[in-house]
Amino acid sequence: NAGVTQTPKFQVLKTGQSMTLQCAQDMNHEYMSWYRQDPGMGLRLIHYSVGAGITDQGEVPNGYNVSRSTTEDFPLRLLSAAPSQTSVYFCATWSKTGNEQFFGPGTRLTVL
């Protein structure tokens, strides 16, 4: 039982490159979300999903796309990376009956 996994752990991109951050869970949770954490700040919600095929925007969605084709996976796509997207990205899951959120270990992204 791995819980919530994220890959890669670290990534360096050049401005304008695209990439996908992966998030997978084996907890059978309905809800999944992506956050970014900038230095000295709390987390900010980027996108979330309440089930396969359903996604919605959070507080800071610009520059990011998501899709949810299965319960287990919730990838985050950066279409054209910008230095302002340098951050640590966390994926989280929770059950619609449980409320408690479980976080992955994070991906540290640097955009040059």
Partner 1 sequence: GIQVEQSPPDLILQEGANSTLRCNFSDSVNNLQWFHQNPWGQLINLFYIPSGTKQNGRLSATTVATERYSLLYISSSQTTDSGVYFCAVGGDMRFGAGTRLTVKP
Q: What is the CA radius of gyration of the chain?
A: 13
- What distance in Å separates the CA atoms of residue 50 and residue 43, rounded to the nearest whole number? 19
Order of strands across the sheet that contains 64-66: 4-7, 19-25, 76-78, 64-66
Site for partner 1 in 4-63 (CB under 8 A): 33, 35, 40-45, 48, 58-59
**66 lines the binding site for partner 1 (CB under 8 A):** no
We find the least distance from the C-beta atom of residue 16 to partner 1, in angstroms, to be 28
Residues in touch with partner 1 (CB under 8 A): 33, 35, 40-45, 48, 58-59, 88, 90, 92, 99-103, 105-106
